Structure 1
Amino acid sequence: MTTHLVCMTSALALVTGAAFAGDHAQKNFNRIASFPVVTNMAEGADTSRESSPEIIDVTADGMTLVYTDSPLEALGMVDITDPVKPAPLGTIDVGGEPTSVSVIGTTAFVGVNTSQSYVAPSGKMLAIDTSSGEVLASCTLAGQPDSIAKSPDGSFVAVAIENERDEDLNGGVIAQLPAGTLQMIDVVSGSLDCASIVTADLTGLANVATGDPEPEYVSINALGETVVTLQENNHMVVVARDGSIVSHFSAGSVDLEGIDATDERGALIFDEVQRDRLREPDAVTWIDDQHFATANEGDYEGGSRGWTIFHKDGSVVFESGVTFEHAMIQIGHYPDKRSDSKGVEPESVTTGTYGGVPFVFVGSERGSIVGVYDITDPAAPVLRQMLPSGIGPEGFVTIPARNLLVSANEVDGLEDGAARAHVMIYEYAEGDAVYPHLTSAGMDRLTGWGAISGMAAKDGLIYAVSDSFYSYQPRIFVIDPSQPPARIVDAIDVTRAGRPAQKLDMEGIAVDGDAFWIASEGRTDRVIPHAIYKVGADGGIEEEIGLPAELMAVEKRFGFEGITKVGDTLWMAVQREWKDDPADHVKLVSYNIQTEEWGAVHYPKASADKGWVGLSEITAYGDHVYIVERDNQHGIEAVTKKVYRVPLADMQPAPLGGDLPVVGKELVTDLIPALTSTGGYVLDKVEGMAIMDDGTAWISTDNDGVDDHSGETMFFSIGQM
């Protein structure tokens, strides 16, 4: 089958998000590159091994990134001389699990966990020349190291000796000895002076498990004071250079209102309350010599879903409460499956001054977002932006001299078929923020969304459905794309007899006057029928049409992925081959609303060198139907993310059960340039396409409900058909 290239009436036009807050003239952070750390493995290495960048720093010249890779027991390095084109520099074996790294000059100071058991923790601190890979010094530590920090003047490093608890022992309840501590080591001539180690006793301070402090994270101010989070103990300690205690206090608790605290109900409902939720901070960063910020992830009995600025005397200067999480909800980054745990789990926090503006950057481990806060007034931070990251942002490094920000995203989707782990680079520069692409901000109620699948357009609006991830809250979202970012202006619940309709997997939508036709992809193993539904303007199901026996006899779970209406005929695209289809041919199924007759044609799709290729959308416009054809690959493995068109003249359905005519197709556009235009990796699920009355086509991606996914949704125009 010959494939032709169709020229669009305008060049590829990516219309994405505008500034999250602020005006056009201001500077913003935008992602400019994503580096898949698997490419740092040596040529011929087994790339089926997991690789995970966690804590990251940069050499003094700002040109080489250095990150810990625990699964590989190595340091990874990335050349960012050209930050738009980061290049692999390989790895350095550290002989154990690296837990943290700080770089002074070109020397990396690395904490390595060598523990054989929880009751016999051990570790070492290495000084490594990143240019040669030579180990310059090795100091034995008091136990299992976690976070490392360098003093601003480079004279010493501090390391939190966590001696973490065994979560399988006694239900994970602490105390579990040996206790953790803090150690500080002088840096002399670019290396470690092991004889200079100062150990600070942190026992007897916290109200929770006072004899078993578990230090998690450290940061050092210009006075040489180290602030330490005792995460499980819900306590903060400020330690002087000589090991004496400057101050210590409970991290306290927060009341949370307007949250979803119920897991596994498949719905985004934010009407619950939690009182006295312990903060249990993880990461901490000084913002000046008197104040520090914490990311309150929780790990033991708490987690307050936000972040806090403390004065070192223990007073709370600022508390984000639920506002950070709510901002993520509005842009589709809420991880519903974590609702009964710690929600979006802010885990990482750092600070940096760019263009004279001091910022705090807060990373959500589960929502995979970097919140950018202007802290010109530490008592009233302003949320300026929300930056998309890879899955599980764990570590950051700020490089203000080059206007760069870097995130290390630890989750490697190797085993789950998700995206591989990435380091991402952002630049602070003139221009609009390009993320988010889609938001529900401005609605009368807090409205979460995600897993956007099929789309259709009418009268300047786009109607989009969410798939079965939200099985107890099927919704049609009404989107106004007229200005960036596109706005969700309404959410219509799909119902049966006034209750949320269950057993749906909405993968396609077509507009029919004031009503909708919805295609549901069936799964017999989950008792979800392959079906078409007519839905009224109020969301109520008015009619259900099951598949005929001829189709059900050959069905597989990979069913309808899109629906469109041409005259009295509904056309549905089947995602992948069913039992009677030739290889690399899938059905476009027809149903005549008036005669109730079924038919089909065959569509020739691309073959796959890896994974599979299938259809994910069908939309009629003019004399053609437009089809999204995609593989299930991410990032550098992605090949097929394309829009084709088929002449309506070819769409002459034959009866089911016999030979089907094969339609011709023409290539409209390859979507991979658009999917990489915002500096990210290629997302696998291009699932929605809507064409406006003027021919402008919009594309969306499905973020899988932020489950084993970064949560990023791309929503953009590809110009006029």
Structure 2
Amino acid sequence: MKRILLFSLLLTALYSCKKEKAIEEPEFFVNEDAKTFAEIGMLDIGEIGAAEISAFDPLTNKLFVVKNENEGTPTQDNRIAVVDFKNPAAMTVIGSISMTPFGGAVNSVAVSEGKLAAAIQNNDKQGNGKVVVFKTSDHSVIAEINVGALPDMVTFSPDGKYIMSANEGEPNATYTNDPEGTVSIISVANNYAVTTINFSSMTSQLPALAAKGFRIFGPGKNFVKDIEPEYITISADSKTAWVTLQENNAIAKIDIASKTITNIFPLGFKDYNIAGNEIDPSDVPNQIGKYTPAKWPVKGMYLPDGIAVLESNGTPYLFTANEGDTREYEGFFVEFLRVKNKDIKLDPTIFPNAADLKTDEKLGRLNVTTTLGDTDGDGDLDELYSIGSRSFSVWNGNTGTQIYDSKNELDVKCVAAGAYDYLRSDDKSVEPEGVALGIVGNTKVAFVGMERADAVAVYDVTVPTSPVFLQLLKCGDAPEGVLFIPAKNSPTKKSLLIVSSENDGVLKVYTPNTI
């Protein structure tokens, strides 16, 4: 009798498991070919500044797009454009949200669970800005939070419990007012309580950081004020954030729960004098249309803008778009000069061919920083450091160690596709600006937007230590925002890539073929 009872219980248990498994929602999967992205939709929403950053809400099928037009003029218009995205092939603008009640330009938007967060700078750029949270359904205000000066980027943690903003704190035009660079951490569940942290806790580490390529420079050289947070990415478990400190050539690591900066990773420099890193540093007229890469005695400062994290086998891999940026306050402080400038004096022992290097066909036209390079303090430059690294990189998020760099591949691929801007060879070349990560079918993919090439490079990053180039997508003028929508959240139930371009106000949508 006991055996029969046990057998009966076992059958019941098996039936329950089968029944439970049968009603489980299957994992959403579309078998897509990641190297076949093609344009399916385009929307022009305005003029310069009209399409910088986009965020998508799967609950309402709305796309929210940063739209700043006529910045700094009497007709300045700062708003968020609202786009009906039910059919990406036939997008339409259905409304907008004015920023006038909240401040000046809107710099960034992010969406989570029916909430839209917007980073809005003060009308006085050096004053504290705001993060305003709206309902995606009716655009009513949920919360209005004061953050640091010039909130440049906003994002939600993956679990939706936090909003973070990178508050750049740029100086004013005369460099007489330089606010602190800060990061704000907003607790959604705790009535949007905010903690804004600066970098004062790391001040004592400056000598060690500087030795590894960390930059504190400009009038005053104030550690806390000179740090300029640019872009944020957050770990899948919502516990850790990494922030690019662009002008400082570094990435900061933040523990979200304790609201503390736990590390700063200086990124060092890229050597253009080794194989694979060759650059074309000249834009002289007789070289237009001729890409002539070569080894040069120059180093590139990474100075990353966009950052995204991919976690694999327990390691966070940080992907950065190494745009490069400089401090340029005409008449007050400009950090760069062309190599041929009379004020750029090259050490005669290290550069015995200085006169030749200073010609336009060689390094003469290349922009380099004046804040680095005089290693022995004798008034001439022993090393040359140019702006940005013309690449994207992968870094270990635990240690800051570089795992991979695309070397000069972005240049090479853009030249081959007819997308290279030869007039930018002397500056930052293709100018990698934004990076987004996603899974397309079974392939982990990175999308790298290049501001001066007007293109997005697509890479297979299934093995994050060895990215593989897949294709190049041409887009609008000066792509600023690169947004990936996974198939499970997409209105088409296929993966989508949205590229928003700030110089022509154009949105473009791409999707891959199914297999």
SS of residue paired to 2:423? helix
Q: Is contact 1:200-1:243 (8 Å) kept? A: no
1:93 aligned partner: 98
| CA–CA separation in structure 1 for the residues paired with 2:33 and 2:138 | 44
Pairing partner for 1:53 from 32, 44, 51: 51
Deviation at 1:185, TM superposition (A): 0.2
2:132 aligned partner: 126
Deviation at 1:284, TM superposition (A): 0.4
Deviation at 1:107, TM superposition (A): 1.6
**1:328-374 superposed Cα distances (whole Å, 9 cap, x missing partner):** 01111111111111011001001011112111100000001110000
1:428 aligned partner: 512
| CA–CA separation in structure 2 for the residues paired with 1:160 and 1:309 | 21
2:292 aligned partner: 270
Larger radius of gyration between Structure 1 and Structure 2:
1
1:291 aligned partner: 317
Residues 353/26 of structure 1: CA separation in 2 closer, same or farther (3 Å cut): closer
Q: Is contact 2:60-2:137 (8 Å) kept? A: no
Pairing partner for 1:356 from 442, 445, 458: 442
Deviation at 1:233, TM superposition (A): 0.5
SS of residue paired to 1:116? coil
Pairing partner for 1:370 from 452, 456, 463: 456
| CA–CA separation in structure 1 for the residues paired with 2:147 and 2:456 | 33
Pairing partner for 2:270 from 238, 246, 254: 254
Residues 271/404 of structure 1: CA separation in 2 closer, same or farther (3 Å cut): closer
State the AA in 2 paired with 1:296: N
Deviation at 1:77, TM superposition (A): 1.6
State the AA in 2 paired with 1:177: D
Pairing partner for 2:251 from 222, 229, 236: 236
Deviation at 1:60, TM superposition (A): 3.1
Q: Is contact 2:148-2:196 (8 Å) kept? A: no
Taking the TM superposition and a 5 Å limit, the aligned residue runs for 1:136-285 are 136-166=142-172, 169=175, 177-188=178-189, 193-201=191-199, 204=203, 207=210, 208-209=215-216, 210-211=223-224, 212-223=226-237, 224-241=239-256, 242-256=258-272, 257-267=277-287, 268-272=290-294, 273=296, 275-285=298-308
1:569 aligned partner: none
Check if 1:310 corresponds to 2:395: yes
State the AA in 1 paired with 2:292: F
| CA–CA separation in structure 1 for the residues paired with 2:498 and 2:34 | 21
State the AA in 2 paired with 1:424: K
Deviation at 1:397, TM superposition (A): 1.5
Residues 27/430 of structure 1: CA separation in 2 closer, same or farther (3 Å cut): farther
SS of residue paired to 2:464? coil
SS of residue paired to 2:278? strand
Greater mean deviation of Cα atoms: 265-274 or 219-228: 265-274
Q: Is contact 2:255-2:262 (8 Å) kept? A: yes
Deviation at 1:261, TM superposition (A): 1.1
| CA–CA separation in structure 1 for the residues paired with 2:501 and 2:249 | 25
| CA–CA separation in structure 1 for the residues paired with 2:34 and 2:51 | 32
**1:409-443 superposed Cα distances (whole Å, 9 cap, x missing partner):** 1113xxxxxxxx21110112237xxxxxxxxxxxx
Deviation at 1:136, TM superposition (A): 1.6
State the AA in 2 paired with 1:182: V
Residues 274/162 of structure 1: CA separation in 2 closer, same or farther (3 Å cut): farther
1:105 aligned partner: 113
Taking the TM superposition and a 5 Å limit, the aligned residue runs for 1:405-416 are 405-412=497-504
Q: Which runs of 4+ in 1 moved over 6 A?
A: none
Deviation at 1:258, TM superposition (A): 3.2
| CA–CA separation in structure 2 for the residues paired with 1:76 and 1:26 | 30
Residues 130/395 of structure 1: CA separation in 2 closer, same or farther (3 Å cut): same
| CA–CA separation in structure 1 for the residues paired with 2:51 and 2:268 | 31
SS of residue paired to 1:184? strand
Residues 115/128 of structure 1: CA separation in 2 closer, same or farther (3 Å cut): same
Q: Is contact 2:186-2:195 (8 Å) kept? A: yes
**1:217-252 superposed Cα distances (whole Å, 9 cap, x missing partner):** 111112321110110000111101122233321112
| CA–CA separation in structure 2 for the residues paired with 1:141 and 1:113 | 9
Q: Is contact 2:195-2:259 (8 Å) kept? A: no
1:718 aligned partner: none
SS of residue paired to 1:337? helix
2:427 aligned partner: 341
| CA–CA separation in structure 2 for the residues paired with 1:214 and 1:167 | 16
Taking the TM superposition and a 5 Å limit, the aligned residue runs for 1:71-82 are 71=69, 72-82=77-87
Unaligned runs of 5+ in 1: 1-23, 39-48, 171-175, 413-420, 432-721
| CA–CA separation in structure 1 for the residues paired with 2:93 and 2:42 | 12
| CA–CA separation in structure 1 for the residues paired with 2:486 and 2:424 | 34
| CA–CA separation in structure 1 for the residues paired with 2:82 and 2:264 | 37
2:88 aligned partner: 83
State the AA in 2 paired with 1:311: N
| CA–CA separation in structure 1 for the residues paired with 2:192 and 2:112 | 17
Q: Is contact 2:38-2:512 (8 Å) kept? A: yes
Q: Is contact 1:54-1:394 (8 Å) kept? A: yes
Deviation at 1:167, TM superposition (A): 6.2
**1:142-181 superposed Cα distances (whole Å, 9 cap, x missing partner):** 21101111111111111001011346649xxxxx732201
Taking the TM superposition and a 5 Å limit, the aligned residue runs for 1:462-611 are none
| CA–CA separation in structure 2 for the residues paired with 1:315 and 1:51 | 35
Residues 279/27 of structure 1: CA separation in 2 closer, same or farther (3 Å cut): closer
Deviation at 1:26, TM superposition (A): 7.2
1:486 aligned partner: none
State the AA in 2 paired with 1:310: W
Unaligned runs of 5+ in 2: 1-31, 70-76, 217-222, 327-368, 370-386
Cα RMSD (Å) of the superposition? 2.2
**1:580-599 superposed Cα distances (whole Å, 9 cap, x missing partner):** xxxxxxxxxxxxxxxxxxxx
Bigger helix share: 2
| CA–CA separation in structure 1 for the residues paired with 2:85 and 2:467 | 31
Q: Is contact 2:35-2:458 (8 Å) kept? A: no
Bigger strand share: 1
Q: Is contact 2:50-2:67 (8 Å) kept? A: yes
| CA–CA separation in structure 2 for the residues paired with 1:67 and 1:53 | 6
SS of residue paired to 1:248? strand
Q: Is contact 2:66-2:81 (8 Å) kept? A: yes
**1:582-618 superposed Cα distances (whole Å, 9 cap, x missing partner):** xxxxxxxxxxxxxxxxxxxxxxxxxxxxxxxxxxxxx
Q: Is contact 1:200-1:244 (8 Å) kept? A: no
| CA–CA separation in structure 1 for the residues paired with 2:35 and 2:436 | 19
Q: Is contact 1:214-1:232 (8 Å) kept? A: yes
SS of residue paired to 2:53? strand
**1:501-529 superposed Cα distances (whole Å, 9 cap, x missing partner):** xxxxxxxxxxxxxxxxxxxxxxxxxxxxx
Q: Is contact 1:108-1:130 (8 Å) kept? A: yes
| CA–CA separation in structure 2 for the residues paired with 1:148 and 1:58 | 14
State the AA in 1 paired with 2:179: P
Residues 145/196 of structure 1: CA separation in 2 closer, same or farther (3 Å cut): closer
Return the TM-score normalized by structure 1: 0.50
Residues 266/78 of structure 1: CA separation in 2 closer, same or farther (3 Å cut): farther
Structure with higher RCO (Cα < 8 A, 6+ apart): 2
Pairing partner for 2:473 from 387, 392, 404: 387
Residues 200/166 of structure 1: CA separation in 2 closer, same or farther (3 Å cut): closer
Deviation at 1:128, TM superposition (A): 1.2
Residues 336/254 of structure 1: CA separation in 2 closer, same or farther (3 Å cut): same
SS of residue paired to 1:350? strand
Deviation at 1:198, TM superposition (A): 4.7
Deviation at 1:264, TM superposition (A): 4.0
Residues 25/112 of structure 1: CA separation in 2 closer, same or farther (3 Å cut): closer
| CA–CA separation in structure 1 for the residues paired with 2:60 and 2:192 | 28
